[in-house]
Amino acid sequence: MKQSRASTRYAKAYLEVANDRNSLDQAAADMLAIQETVAASKELSGVLENPMTSPILKKSILDELFKDLSEATKDLIRVLSENDRLELLDNIAERFVSLIAKHRGQVRVTLVIASADQQDALEKTVLNLLKEQGYPNVILKVELDPELIGGFVLKLDDLLYDASVAGKIKRVKKEFSNSL
């Protein structure tokens, strides 16, 4: 991640400001919207990361795209623009979402499945297992990846549990090639 220290500092400062203004929910919604929009648009990401694009132009584009942001978020964008650090906005949003989840005692989990048929059953099973393991407040994100063939992959913080058919095939191939 680009300049992760700076992104973390800005995210922590933004969390404090939003908390002081009693606008954590709005700040979280703003950051999620920014994160999703930047991830969905290669053009926007390219503009923000381009050092040749002026901070004023970057800020005006962001102001036009995100008209309904809270004052705290607008202040963050203004400060980033003044410091010529708008290229960090996506990373700040990502770090903020993680920080606020931690602040609220939540854990973000991604469940990657091969097909939608198994989604409901796996969601319930995973949520029950996580509750048993001491994670009562789980934010579950489900993604579809047909390349898994079957089974699932569970991502929890820095942990990855691969119970997919594709993962098992990969492990068998590796084991087979190591035994030759």
Per-residue pLDDT tens over the stretch 48-62:
999 999 999 999 999
Q: What is the pLDDT of residue 36?
A: 93
pLDDT of residue 2: 54
The CATH architecture assigned to 4-103 reads Orthogonal Bundle (1.10)
For residue 118, the model assigns a pLDDT of 82
Q: What is the pLDDT of residue 1?
A: 44
CATH class of segment(s) 107-179: alpha beta
The rounded mean pLDDT for the chain is 92
Predicted TM-score of the model (pTM): 0.72
Query: What would the pLDDT profile of 2-26 be if each residue is shown by its tens digit?
Result: 557 999 999 999 999 999 999 999 9
Whole-angstrom Cα distance, residue 56 to residue 124? 47
Q: What is the pLDDT of residue 158?
A: 80
pLDDT at position 157 over 80: no
For residues 122-143, average pLDDT: 91
What pLDDT score does 3 carry? 58
Where does the chain hold its CATH 1.10.520.20 domain(s)? 4-103
* H or E element, residue 163: strand 159-164
> Is it the case that residue 102 has pLDDT exceeding 90?
no
**Could you give the percent of the chain with pLDDT greater than 90?**
78
Q: Per-residue pLDDT averaged across 97-105, rounded?
A: 89
For residue 154, give the 3-state DSSP assignment. Answer: strand
**Three-class SS state of 75:** helix
Residue 47 in this model has a pLDDT that exceeds 90: yes
For 61-84, what is the mean pLDDT?
94
Counting Cβ atoms within 10 Å, is residue 21 exposed (0-12), middle (13-18) or buried (19+)?
Answer: middle
Which residues in the chain are classed under CATH 3.40.30?
A: 107-179
